Amino acid sequence: MSGRPSTTRRRLLTGTGAVTAAGLTAAVAAPAAEASAHAGAGGPAGVWAVQVSIDQRPGEIERAHFSFGSDGQLVVQTINASHTGLGLWRRAGGNRFVFALRHLWTDGQGAFQYEVRIRHEGKLTSPTTFVSEGTGTAVDADGKVLLTVQAKVSGTRFGIDD
């Protein structure tokens, strides 16, 4: 026995799904003028309310907030995982962009379980909405892949007065 806590497939799916990326748009929207001011010529810079759907968990929707910084930084906070994910994004031409992030998953006592690595390709569908698709991979401390899931994200930009 390695002394590591066991990780069930269900726990992995729950943790990985928490920030992996969503099917439907969130209910919050920003005025177009405010969104345009932060979009940086069509980029995702700004804050977003998102919904995440995981192919391996049909019918379950995860809510999260994404903050795309104008400097390429990305910060993500989710409900189910209650973890903060950190990452980067870059433009991929036109209204498209790519983002990658990671977050740590712990057990109830705070001991490391695995790292979730997420990579998505997204596109702005309007100044206030985006969609993306990609993968989330759970990796243990030794670098062993425990699980990979496919996910979709749908986001709506929000502002100060929303």
- Domain assignment present for residue 132? The answer is yes
Query: Is 2 domain-assigned?
Result: no
Q: Name the residue with higher pLDDT: 46 or 20.
A: 46
Mean pLDDT of the 127-138 span: 97
Does residue 101 carry a pLDDT above 90? yes
CA–CA distance, 1 with 17 (Å, rounded to integer): 28
pLDDT band at 81 (very low <50, low <70, confident <90, very high): low
- Report if residue 30 sits inside a domain: yes
Q: Is the pLDDT of residue 6 over 90?
A: no
Is pLDDT above 60 for 69?
yes
pLDDT value of position 56: 86
Looking at the domain assignment, is residue 43 inside a domain? yes
pLDDT of residue 82: 67
Q: How confident is the model over 49-60, as a mean pLDDT?
A: 92
Q: What is the CATH number of the domain that holds 141?
A: 2.40.128.30
- For residue 110, name the pLDDT band (cuts at 50, 70, 90): confident
Q: How many structural domains compose the chain?
A: 1
Q: Is residue 46 in some structural domain?
A: yes
Closest-CA residue to 21 (of 52, 45, 48, 50) = 52
pTM of the model: 0.76
Domain annotation covers residue 60: yes
Assigned domain for 1 exists: no
CB 31 within 8 A of CB 160: no
